[in-house]
Structure 1
């Protein structure tokens, strides 16, 4: 097949890799293992192992119905391509007869960190599940190539990296391919998933790639990153990816891939090449031209802009501040934007930033010290119980915050009798529904971009849960406005809270002898709630610095006062 077509594909691969340098954190350039499938016939037995042993119970996982075999009809090389073939045929092995056969190949090569490129054309037949994926070398799975010598760890503690899978996402549009990671903290129906649309899937070849560094795992289609997994704090529960893994190629049949049509006969996944890259050269030169500066600042984030050069092609950055340490890498000579999250408003932060390469060679004058102060909050928050659909037993917190020309909307469901809660943001006109991101517990957020300062937006939130749903009322918010969403009925000048800003004791001078007060933060979280007399004190000495809202309810109505804690 290759009249120097190999050289052409190699150049294309290099171009694809170069084009994606700015999208991955570590660039791997040395080809350490590959199969170009140049020799017709059986697969190269020095590189691949046929995994055929059935799991205990006689069936493969996920309700699959195939036998994996080492038959030449299920896996063979022809014309420069590996063919993994799934067929409808009765086949008896290990005393069990099944009606479908396929192949499951394990690479006899394992590695820690690097890049995988697989150029393949995959089948899209109903009921088929083609996959290009990886498992920890230490997986305890009878029949796997490394099991006898290294199989000490059960799945998912061994870690699983799914580079490409198709056929198990019926809710997605046609031509959708998925990548996923399975860990002790999220496995089976994992939440660690990303996907994208591949043009003319089933008819065209595409390059499916995975870039794995000590800091993150990125997935690419034809050289373009579409999903990155990078938990901020890595533990054995969410990051078992610090040990060697090996590659698997297979087509599963049935089970969660759906019903196999009665007229199915056979299909194939065609693979042009499998290539693994790492960085193998000894590096003794430290980074040069290291710069670090402050970028955009909001009430809760500070952006750091980092850049440096290194002969290895990669630079490692370590950022230390009061919130901990952030470690990451980036290609040499490419500016990296790092947004530090979860900061307090009106607060000064100091950052110590160091640069080194992956071999540990440090920049000569580490570290660079930076200082920045977060802005004040521009927004509104509070809580409510009103529902336009369903009911709330306790209620919900809400917060709207303007960030430049974006508005971050956060809602928290306070009901404790609801399980399996998910949230959707509703725009009133024209009606649009957006899924919100879960922050923690029943707190959900969504940022809407490109808003006009001074314009009014109207949003509600639908909370869906097991057995029902509850929808909040619509809230009107003026973009760029710093306010409480309820209109106060009392004059702020007649009810006083002082000193404001407050260090320790907040003194209250209210109009009634019986006042219900509630103190919430900018996200609507309640920090105290009580009944007080006309005069009283609140001890805020143990509160974190930031902006709070004091809701005062009495016979005169409801009033919100903004309290700044230094």
Structure 2
């Protein structure tokens, strides 16, 4: 019973934010602010829309050990032929009593907004030592020299919240073309755990559209219209969600510091921006949603999927799900089915959901609420915690979980180390060897589902965690598809080498050069049916009925599992 409870707790954490992953929940249609950078020649930036932030922070240096001066020189920022050029240059420059060897530009938008979508079409420098960024800060940030600081700067960073739409050059351990998005909050800042990223081709030569979609429920990042990371805390607090107040845009290139060493032959690098566009929904809406339906989708031992759909003239529908575990608030475009996976559920338990639909203006569906119910299944899976490593090492360790869902197996790993940042996870299959990128659920928890499995087959997987400055690879673990938590997961990093004649009858005669401390036999539902700690080389199985079993052999801390047929 205790193992069941622990397994449910782990799976609940792993799925806590999955229901909002990789979707744009609210569509914003009305262009409220933009700069197309239209010009016939070389011009200064539009001073009605942009502010040069050039004041150095206290101490004489910009943050993160950066080495540049930001200037308002036209050689560092200008509009030319329909494009904004932000240029980082190698040149001595003295300002505010300090001389530095590099110059660049840092622009603040003079427009701030609450909720909406940002689209920025740009090509970015990929030179070693450069850190191009498209990002946002709370309008209330207390940062000397920022455009809004004099009137609104009442709040320190990161309490103001920071949304990094694009960063490049600070993830040297990632593949070429990797672009990163991040969020900094009081609960996670500096080397934040709230990070997502994707690969883009030809960053320095091709234009890409970098987007951020910000609703009251979640923040989603997109590359060329494709969502790749969604931030959506299940329970929003001021600590993890300071994103309920206006923010403004920043465009800049930083030099050195966490971007690494600047080569001696560096001369200059440019970020070229085609346009910046901000969308919101501005129309007054007085019509309530129509055609609201709610049904039950996939059900597991710890989750229930709810399928929601409704129509509204505004283009978006908001849903509120109330049940014994709390409330989930979400939204989706009108007429598009929303899948909400409710986490943190107990196995073999009936849940009743009361679901309401409204629009973002607060107009309610006429027949609210719709009530649906479903019963979770029993647990079929295994879990564990370990610090064993094939390569590298773990300061604390990791959780792992394997759950059978029909003919699929959901594999989830959570890194427990707190001294590793910028973590990504690659699932390793042992034989034949293969690598698969895992999906980030939240923090340092990653998951991947392998499909088309056969009940009773053994699968063997581990995970490579890559992070700033290195990598650590977990032990390989074997899992028998369809078995449950009583069996747990067998480490095969140092397998126990043993053999026996299979099929068996009356007795199991185990041959092994290792000292066998314990032998266990499980049926195919994962129930322990025989255990021997005394005579571990000749095991009496006369009380076992015919069938297929799992034979677990232990030697010290090592364990191996093999199938066994009893005649």
Per the shorter chain, which TM-score range? 0.7 to 0.9
- 1:179–1:486 distance in 2 versus 1, CA, 3 Å: closer
- 1:437–1:213 distance in 2 versus 1, CA, 3 Å: closer
Give SS of 2:87's match: strand
Give SS of 2:250's match: strand
- 1:462–1:102 distance in 2 versus 1, CA, 3 Å: closer
Q: Point out where structure 1 has 5 or more consecutive residues left out of the alignment.
A: 1-21, 488-546, 561-566
Q: Which digits, 9 at most, give the CA deviation of each residue in 1:45-90, with x for residues without a partner?
A: 1111110100001011111111111111111111111111111111
For 2:471 and 2:368, how far apart are their aligned partners in 1?
56
Superposition pairs for residues 504-523 of structure 1, below 5 Å?
none
Give SS of 1:232's match: coil
Q: Which digits, 9 at most, give the CA deviation of each residue in 1:473-494, with x for residues without a partner?
A: 743x33123474389xxxxxxx
Cα distance, 1:449 vs. partner? 1.3
Q: Point out where structure 2 has 5 or more consecutive residues left out of the alignment.
A: 1-21, 490-524, 537-543, 550-567
> Which residue in 1 is equivalent to 2:190?
188
> Which residue in 2 is equivalent to 1:542?
none
> Which residue in 1 is equivalent to 2:100?
98
For 2:218 and 2:271, how far apart are their aligned partners in 1?
28
Q: Which digits, 9 at most, give the CA deviation of each residue in 1:309-336, with x for residues without a partner?
A: 0000000000001110000010000001
Q: Which digits, 9 at most, give the CA deviation of each residue in 1:244-286, with x for residues without a partner?
A: 0001111111111112122222221111111111111100000
> Which residue in 1 is equivalent to 2:213?
211
For 1:137 and 1:405, how far apart are their aligned partners in 2?
50
Superposition pairs for residues 129-208 of structure 1, below 5 Å?
129-208=131-210
- 1:226–1:59 distance in 2 versus 1, CA, 3 Å: same
CA RMSD of aligned residues (A): 3.7
> Which residue in 2 is equivalent to 1:33?
33
Verify: 1:284 aligned to 2:281, yes or no.
Answer: no
Superposition pairs for residues 380-419 of structure 1, below 5 Å?
380=382, 400-409=402-411
Cα distance, 1:213 vs. partner? 0.4
For 1:178 and 1:486, how far apart are their aligned partners in 2?
36
Q: Which digits, 9 at most, give the CA deviation of each residue in 1:119-170, with x for residues without a partner?
A: 1121111111111111000111000000011111111111111111111111
Superposition pairs for residues 234-383 of structure 1, below 5 Å?
234-380=236-382
> Which residue in 1 is equivalent to 2:14?
none
Cα distance, 1:199 vs. partner? 2.0
- 1:436–1:551 distance in 2 versus 1, CA, 3 Å: farther
2:129 to 120, 127, 130: 127
Cα distance, 1:459 vs. partner? 3.9
For 1:98 and 1:387, how far apart are their aligned partners in 2?
45
- 1:268–1:437 distance in 2 versus 1, CA, 3 Å: closer
Verify: 1:221 aligned to 2:223, yes or no.
Answer: yes
Give SS of 2:118's match: strand
Give SS of 1:53's match: coil
Cα distance, 1:412 vs. partner? 8.6
For 2:36 and 2:459, how far apart are their aligned partners in 1?
56
Cα pair 2:485 2:526 within 8 Å, conserved: no
Cα pair 1:406 1:447 within 8 Å, conserved: no
For 2:434 and 2:207, how far apart are their aligned partners in 1?
36
Cα pair 1:462 1:472 within 8 Å, conserved: no
Verify: 1:453 aligned to 2:454, yes or no.
Answer: yes
For 1:392 and 1:160, how far apart are their aligned partners in 2?
30
> Which residue in 1 is equivalent to 2:564?
none
Q: Which digits, 9 at most, give the CA deviation of each residue in 1:343-394, with x for residues without a partner?
A: 1111100000100000000000000000100111223467899999999999
- 1:101–1:380 distance in 2 versus 1, CA, 3 Å: closer
For 2:419 and 2:80, how far apart are their aligned partners in 1?
50
Q: TM-score, normalised by structure 1?
A: 0.75
Cα distance, 1:289 vs. partner? 0.5
> Which shows bigger deviation, 202-211 or 550-559?
550-559
2:113 to 111, 114, 118: 111
- 1:84–1:138 distance in 2 versus 1, CA, 3 Å: same
> Which residue in 1 is equivalent to 2:55?
53
Give SS of 1:62's match: coil
> Which shows bigger deviation, 319-328 or 374-383?
374-383
For 2:82 and 2:391, how far apart are their aligned partners in 1?
60
- 1:473–1:47 distance in 2 versus 1, CA, 3 Å: closer
For 2:67 and 2:386, how far apart are their aligned partners in 1?
52
> Which shows bigger deviation, 401-410 or 189-198?
401-410
For 2:464 and 2:313, how far apart are their aligned partners in 1?
52
Give SS of 2:258's match: helix
Compare relative contact order (CA 8 Å, sep 6+) and give the higher one, 1 or 2.
2
> Which shows bigger deviation, 116-125 or 353-362?
116-125
> Which residue in 2 is equivalent to 1:83?
85
